[in-house]
């Protein structure tokens, strides 16, 4: 995998279905300063990126499994790997469940949720089954395919947006902005997948730069979308919209294409990149951990992981459950994202100290 591809993979993993709701979350406390909260919230994955990159530099010849077992011993290292894989599988389940409910709401109201979830899972399995390199390339390609869609946002800016809704800048107060920034930072979760993916990159010295560029590429459109939504609805009315991005498309009359919201949703219905990215990383790690042959057993491991994710995704009974579970699961991202690299850094320091003593 090239450093550029890891950048696209970071981008693809961070941007999921939560993209549709981020303006509402960001404006809940920060009001008109929601766009500032988005930018501050993006600092969390940046910290995670730096921590993982610094960690990886210390073990350039190892992969995640080797590094874990080297630092914590075979048993404890394996347990940590399995826990991270389980965390990623829960992330896959969360993404499948949220996508399934959103697609059911907007595009397939008559199709049962289990069928939509299964469809998403099967496609994710197919994509992940092609291996990390193809997954990285798909992320890259989808980025370019989606790029024109982001420019659609410019249209409402020209027609119904009122920039005075953004004023006064900083008026909501530092505390409110900080509170929203924390909420938004949960949207930038899943960066911990880099613990596995980092070691697949050929030019490791370029990962930090590629990751930083990817984060900017996520944060800037998020900020833009949030600002436009605030300019269109105003911060207060924005709270009434479950999916403000779609609502914004609905509120503007586009020439020829009458229901831009639905078209956007159709295009976005393949954007469950976090699902296949995380599935690929967990499958790869488990295959390596169990010392199985990638060619022979990778697909089998993926199927088992996918089935587990599918079962987990079927736990929520309705969209409210999905939102509650996902919010709780969202809290695990900063914990794992910061906790894992810090723990490994600590272990590396202790091991390094031991080595020096020897």
Partner 1 sequence: MRKMPKKPAAPPPAPEPAEKPKNLQNINIPDITLPVSLAEKQTLLKPHIERSHDIVNRPFTIGAQQPVEAYAIYINGVIDTDAFNASILRPLMIYGEDPQSAGDQGPELPEYIARTLLTVGLFREIDRLADLVRDIYDGMLIIMLEGSSQVLSIDIHKAHLRAIEEPVSERGLRGSKEGFIESLDVNISMVRRRLRDPKLVVKKTVMGQRTRTQVALLYIEDIADPNIVKEVETRLNNVQIDAVVASGYIEQLVQDHPWTVFYQHRVTEKPDKAVMQILEGRVLILVDGTPSSISAPSLFVEFFQAPGDYYERTWIASFIRVLRYIAFFLAVSTSAMYIAVVNFQPELIPQELLVPIARFRNQVPFAVVLEVLVLEIMMQLVIEAGHHLPGNVGQTVGVVGGIIMGQAAITARFASPAAVIVASFSAMCTFVLPSPGMALISRVLRLPMILAAASFGAVGFALMWLILITHMTSLTSVGVPYMSPLSPTRYRDLKDSIIRYFLTSMKDRPVSIPSQDKVRQAKQGVTGNQ
Q: Which residues bind partner 1 (CB under 8 A)?
A: 2, 4-5, 103, 107-108, 111, 116, 119-120, 123, 126-127, 130-131, 134, 137-138, 140-141, 144, 258-259, 262-263, 266-267, 269-270
| Cβ closest to partner 1, residue 111 vs residue 327 | 111
Minimum distance, C-beta of residue 111 to partner 1, in the bound complex (Å) = 7
Rounded distance between C-alpha atoms, residue 155 and residue 290, angstroms:
52
Q: Before 200, cis peptide (omega within 30)? A: no
Q: Tell me, what DSSP letter sits at residue 239?
A: T
Minimum distance, C-beta of residue 135 to partner 1, in the bound complex (Å) = 9
Question: CA 125: distance to chain centroid?
Answer: 18
Minimum distance, C-beta of residue 141 to partner 1, in the bound complex (Å) = 4
Rounded distance between C-alpha atoms, residue 79 and residue 16, angstroms:
28
Rounded distance between C-alpha atoms, residue 358 and residue 340, angstroms:
27
| Cβ closest to partner 1, residue 5 vs residue 241 | 5
Minimum distance, C-beta of residue 319 to partner 1, in the bound complex (Å) = 17
| Cβ closest to partner 1, residue 43 vs residue 142 | 142
Q: Other CB atoms closer than 10 Å to residue 236's CB: what's the count? A: 12
Minimum distance, C-beta of residue 96 to partner 1, in the bound complex (Å) = 13
Q: Other CB atoms closer than 10 Å to residue 130's CB: what's the count? A: 14
| Cβ closest to partner 1, residue 235 vs residue 281 | 281
| Cβ closest to partner 1, residue 131 vs residue 234 | 131
Burial 293-317 (b: 16+ CB within 10 A, else e): eeeeebbebbeebbebbbebbbebe
| Cβ closest to partner 1, residue 47 vs residue 263 | 263
Q: Before 259, cis peptide (omega within 30)? A: no
Angle between helices 244-251 and 22-30 (to 10 degrees): 100
| Cβ closest to partner 1, residue 74 vs residue 259 | 259
Minimum distance, C-beta of residue 357 to partner 1, in the bound complex (Å) = 46
Rounded distance between C-alpha atoms, residue 157 and residue 155, angstroms:
5
Placement of tokens 């057993």 in the chain: 297
| Cβ closest to partner 1, residue 11 vs residue 116 | 116
Rounded distance between C-alpha atoms, residue 305 and residue 300, angstroms:
9
Minimum distance, C-beta of residue 115 to partner 1, in the bound complex (Å) = 8
Minimum distance, C-beta of residue 12 to partner 1, in the bound complex (Å) = 12
Q: Tell me, what DSSP letter sits at residue 200?
A: G
Rounded distance between C-alpha atoms, residue 37 and residue 26, angstroms:
6
């Amino acid at each position: 995998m090239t450093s550029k591809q890891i950048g696209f993979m970071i981008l693809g993993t961070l941007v999921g279905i939560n993209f549709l709701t981020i303006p509402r979350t960001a404006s809940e406390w920060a009001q008109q300063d929601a766009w500032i909260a988005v930018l501050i919230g993006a600092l969390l994955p940046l910290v995670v990126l730096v921590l993982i990159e610094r960690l990886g530099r210390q073990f350039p010849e190892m992969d995640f499994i080797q590094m874990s077992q080297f630092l914590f011993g075979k048993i404890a290292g394996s347990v940590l790997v399995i826990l991270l894989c389980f965390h990623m599988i829960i992330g896959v389940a969360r993404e499948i469940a949220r996508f399934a409910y959103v697609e059911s709401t907007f595009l397939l109201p008559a199709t049962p949720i289990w069928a939509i979830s299964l469809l998403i899972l099967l496609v994710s399995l197919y994509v992940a089954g092609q291996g990390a390199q193809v997954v990285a390339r798909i992320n890259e390609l989808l980025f370019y395919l989606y790029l024109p869609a982001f420019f659609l946002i410019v249209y409402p800016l020209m027609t119904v947006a009122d920039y005075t809704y953004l004023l006064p800048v900083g008026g909501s107060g530092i505390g409110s902005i900080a509170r929203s920034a924390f909420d938004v930072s949960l949207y930038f979760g899943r960066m911990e997948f880099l613990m596995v993916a980092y070691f697949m990159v050929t030019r490791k010295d370029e990962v930090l730069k590629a990751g930083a560029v990817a984060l900017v590429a996520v944060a800037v459109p998020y900020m833009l979308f949030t600002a436009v939504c605030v300019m269109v609805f105003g911060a207060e009315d924005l709270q009434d919209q479950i999916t403000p991005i779609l609502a914004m498309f609905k509120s503007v009359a586009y020439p020829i294409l009458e229901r831009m919201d639905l078209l956007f949703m159709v295009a976005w219905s393949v954007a469950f990149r976090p699902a296949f990215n995380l599935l690929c990383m967990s499958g790869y790690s488990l295959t390596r951990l169990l010392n199985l042959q990638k060619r022979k057993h990778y697909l089998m491991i993926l199927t088992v992981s996918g089935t587990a994710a599918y079962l987990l995704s079927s736990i929520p009974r309705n969209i409210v459950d999905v939102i509650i579970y996902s919010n709780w699961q969202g809290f695990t991202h900063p914990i794992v994202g910061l906790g894992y690299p810090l723990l490994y850094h600590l272990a590396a320091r202790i091991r390094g100290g031991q080595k020096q003593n020897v």
